[in-house]
Amino acid sequence: MMTDTDIISTTLQNNLRSAMAAELTTIPTYLYTYWSIKPLNDGGSQAGAQAAQTIMSVIVEEMLHMGLVSNILNSLGGTPALTESPYLPQYPCPLLRPPISEGEIDVEVKLGRLSYDSIKNFLSIEFPEYYDLCSGILTLGQFYEQYIRPELTEDLNYCSRRKQLPTFDNPGVGTLIQVGCQQDALKAVDLIVKQGEGFSKNEHEDGEHELAHFWKFLGVYRAIEQGFLNLDTDVYQVIDAPYEHEYNPEQQEANQAFNSTYSNLLDELQSTFSSNHPEVFYKSTTLMKQLNRQAAVLRNTGGTVPDTDYLPGPTFEYIPAGERVN
């Protein structure tokens, strides 16, 4: 009987799992900041609404990237591992797992409201290779180019024993490529890298007239710097680096409800990405909308975090199924 290791090497499977984990790790930190921006109907500004729209456009593309990596992994007979250690994000946490090579510096991903520091962290996450001036940071694009692409150029068996995810109408730019051969796999890697970093220092777009992620976040940073975005009036003052043990009992209960839904979402994504008969992301979309509501409920629960002037925010922690709040 053919096993996974007959088709995909352990190293390549781990690197693809790490890539999926990296894409997943970015989504909660971007969401946390996105949810901290006041909408127009709650006193936010047009500049704030534009910043929120920019951040959401990146979130949508990160979700697409997870699907693309999953399709490569599945086509080679591997298995996604979103809900397994060491691939589960526990904030603050490194962007890439497992540990990278000696001498390479990884980025620490944090949860925080919209601020200079949070956008600087986003810029570090999406830092382009061509801007790496001996900093030693391993960019996400370099990880794909150095750790994944070389193995994909080997003579691999792109099997069909697990069906790939169906192409769906992605709300952002880009298409979920169904990987059935080496050319498809390399095309998927190209799309991920171009959306994140762009082509070069002088070409900031991803090839579809859409700014790459680094340049989108740089635009938000400059809007803050130039005073178009007011960090006092445009932002809910939610706490940076949230920890549930610092919350009062009401806030802890609301945070646990959020984390239970978040855990259900990760389970649903794991099931969708690894199923022999994957479905479109209806359940995941419903759970995402529920998270949006629960984050707002938490922010308005129990006043400020004890001994601080800040509002509570979700900690994005995975809870085992038997311990979740119904």
- The whole model's pTM is what? 0.92
Bigger pLDDT: 325 vs 304: 304
Mean pLDDT of 152-169: 71
The residue ranking higher by pLDDT, 55 or 107, is 55
More confident residue, 175 or 309: 309
- Residue 5 pLDDT level (bands cut at 50, 70, 90): very low
Q: Which of 130-134, 201-205, 254-258 has the highest mean pLDDT?
A: 254-258
Q: Residue range 13-21: average pLDDT?
A: 95
pLDDT at residue 206, as a whole number:
44
How far apart are alpha carbons 176 and 161 in whole angstroms? 19
- Write the CA distances from 223 to 29, 46, 185, 204, 220, integer angstroms: 20, 11, 37, 18, 5
* DSSP per-residue string spanning 50-113: HHHHHHHHHHHHHHHHHHHHHHHHHHTT----TTSTTTS--SSEESSSS---TTPBPPEE----
pLDDT of residue 1 exceeding 50: no
pLDDT tens-digit readout, 18-48: 999 999 999 999 999 999 999 999 999 999 9
Is 163 a residue whose pLDDT tops 90?
no
Distance, in Å, from the CA atom of 37 to the CA atom of 224, rounded to the nearest integer, reads: 13
Per residue in 214-262, pLDDT (tens digit) is 889 999 999 999 999 999 999 999 999 999 999 999 999 999 999 999 9
Which structure tokens are listed for 247?
């919350």
Mean pLDDT across the chain: 87
User: Dihedral sign, CA of 247, 253, 257, 259?
Assistant: positive
Q: Does position 137 have pLDDT exceeding 60, yes or no?
A: yes
pLDDT in tens, 47-68: 999 999 999 999 999 999 999 9
Q: Is 316 in contact with 262 (CB distance < 8 Å)?
A: yes
163 φ/ψ angles, rounded to the nearest 5 degrees: -70, 140
**188 in Cβ contact with 148 (< 8 Å):** no
Amino acid at position 254, single letter: A
d(CA 158, CA 155): 9
In three-state form (DSSP H/G/I as H, E/B as E, the rest C), the secondary structure along 27-61 is HHHHHHHHHCECCHHHCCCHHHHHHHHHHHHHHHH
pLDDT at residue 281 is higher than 70: no
> What is the predicted pLDDT for the residue at 274?
83
Find how far residue 22's CA is from the centre of its chain.
Answer: 7
DSSP secondary structure, 125-183, as one string: HT--GGG--S--B--HHHHIIIIIHHHHTS------SSPPPPP---SSSS------SHH
Residue 101 confidence class, pLDDT cut points 50, 70, 90: low
Structure tokens at 242: 């949230």
pLDDT of residue 258: 98
pLDDT score at 249: 98
Helix (H, G, I), strand (E, B) or coil at 269: helix
Query: Which range has the worst mean pLDDT, 181-190, 195-204, 228-237?
Result: 195-204
Please tell me the predicted confidence (pLDDT) of residue 230. 97
* Cβ pair 199, 207 in contact under 8 A: yes
pLDDT of residue 3: 47
Residue 103 has pLDDT above 80, yes or no: no
Rg (CA), the chain: 20
Burial of 232 (C-beta count, 10 Å sphere; 0-12/13-18/19+): exposed
Q: What are phi and psi of 188, to 5 degrees?
A: -65, -40
The pLDDT assigned to 167 comes to 52
Asked if 12 contacts 151 with a C-beta cutoff of 8 angstroms, the reply is yes
Split at pLDDT 50, 70, 90, the class of 284 is: confident
The pLDDT value given to residue 319: 97
